[in-house]
Amino acid sequence: MAHMPPAHLRRPDRPLLLTIPGLHGVLQFRNAGPVAAALAKVLNGWVPRPWTGPARAPAIATVTCGPAGFDVRSAFLDRPIRGLPLASAVNALCADLLEAWTAAHPDHVCLHAGGAVFGGSAVAFLGEARAGKSTLMARLTAEPAVPVLADDVLPVSPRGEALGLGVPPRLRLPLPAGASAAFRAHIAASAGPGDDLYAYLDAATAAPHGTRAPLDAVVILRRTPGAAARLHELGDAEALHQLATRRITAGPGEDGRLDRVAAIADRVRMLRLVYSDLEDAVALVTAAFGPGAAGIEPGPPLPAPEAPPAAAAPLPDPAQRWRRSPVAAVRRHGGRSCLWSAAAGEVVQLNLTARAVWELLDAPASQDELADGLSALFPEAGRARIAADLGPLLAGFAAAGLIAPADPG
């Protein structure tokens, strides 16, 4: 990993301006040298450099040491996020750098995916939330012959190459109860900047910025309790749907980007990995894609999984007053808008109702107060229906760390 030369961090009384190769704008640090140093340690082959241009250079993000932690103001956020611990501040900056890279390279299709190189060819791993993508990518960093390109954002070039941007896997802690002793030892030996909830991995197999490999396969993860690890073909319609819904790039030229997504689906193998045990999944993918691959024959396409029964999560007290979490904001994500938590990295897509609730929570409010506000905005929906829909929405926001109970009074 790259390390910031100490001379760049010796003037905490003056803003530190850094530029990142290939991006437009600078990162600005105000009394936040530790964040700059941790970012330089995390980034692999993507070396921040002192900015020597005009003092008023456009900022990608500004980090300030505040009274409760580090505050981050970003070109991609609708408001500053405040009180972040060190690792979460680094995560916020990494998210900004990935957004800025995506914006600066519109010719690439950027997938919300992990990626690794097996025998010279890349495999992308996609999955729904909690499918185990980040844990799988972290586990693959323990395989000495498998360079890991990404665990969250994987660009694909017009030539069909997967590209590593030099941001290593970030692992949620604690590890799953079933994690092997060898995996636990690897994480302990490879832990980079982190906190009680997440840690970046300083692993030798994390590929540096600019690493390229032809994309050979896309694997959709389906974690199923008790299932033996196995690969299945993916039907053409589902293959295109999976890629199209997990691309980050959006905005002008959308039709062209959809054509490029379709070209990826036509060019590479599209597979589904069903698994329960992490070690079994790693053994299967290394056998299927690694050097001297065993030629594992995938099974036929699977039917779409049945929707799980609705969880009976307790709904919040309608009188409970809520406030926005200081570490959450609306993030412009490849041209779309979503709610995002810098601490957890949770992303919630915004529909009209969710956006209206977020705007109303500019001041603390209860479910009943929010129902009154939404009724004024959407009188045709009816207050009773709005109030009934608000409970699950607020419960989801709270579970993702986007809102928290307001202080009494």
* pLDDT tens for each residue of the chain, 409 residues long: 444 444 444 454 578 999 999 898 999 999 999 999 999 999 999 999 999 888 778 899 999 999 999 999 999 999 999 999 999 999 999 999 999 999 899 899 999 899 999 999 999 999 876 778 999 999 999 999 999 999 999 999 999 999 999 999 998 888 888 899 999 999 999 999 888 878 999 999 999 999 999 999 999 999 999 999 999 999 888 888 888 887 875 444 444 457 888 889 899 999 999 999 999 999 999 999 977 666 678 888 888 665 444 444 567 788 889 999 999 999 876 666 788 888 776 777 778 888 899 999 999 999 999 999 999 988 888 889 998 889 889 988 988 889 999 965 4
Token pair of 250 as six digits: 């959006």
pLDDT of residue 305: 61
Helix, strand, or coil (residue 82): strand
Residue that has been written with the tokens 């995938």 in this structure = 298
Neighbour order of strands in the sheet with 321-324: 365-366, 321-324, 403-405
Contact 35, 12 (CB under 8 A): no
Q: Cα separations (Å) of 194 from 37, 105, 183, 188, 251?
A: 13, 29, 17, 12, 34
State whether the Cα torsion 257-259-260-266 is positive or negative: positive
User: Burial, 197: exposed, middle or buried (Cβ in 10 Å; 0-12, 13-18, 19+)?
Assistant: middle
Cβ of 356: how many Cβ atoms within 10 Å?
16
Which residues are within 8 A (CB) of 124 and not within 5 positions of it... i.e. 6 or more apart? 111, 113, 114, 115, 154, 156, 162, 215, 217, 218, 219
Contact 320, 370 (CB under 8 A): no
pLDDT one-digit tens code per residue, 114-156: 999 999 999 999 987 677 899 999 999 999 999 999 999 999 9
pLDDT of residue 293: 67
Spell out the domains of the chain, with CATH numbers in brackets: 6-104 (no CATH), 109-289 (3.40.50), 321-405 (3.90.930)
The angle at the Cα of 308, spanning 303 to 309, to the nearest 5 degrees, equals 140
**310: Cα separation from own chain's centroid:** 25
pTM for this prediction = 0.84
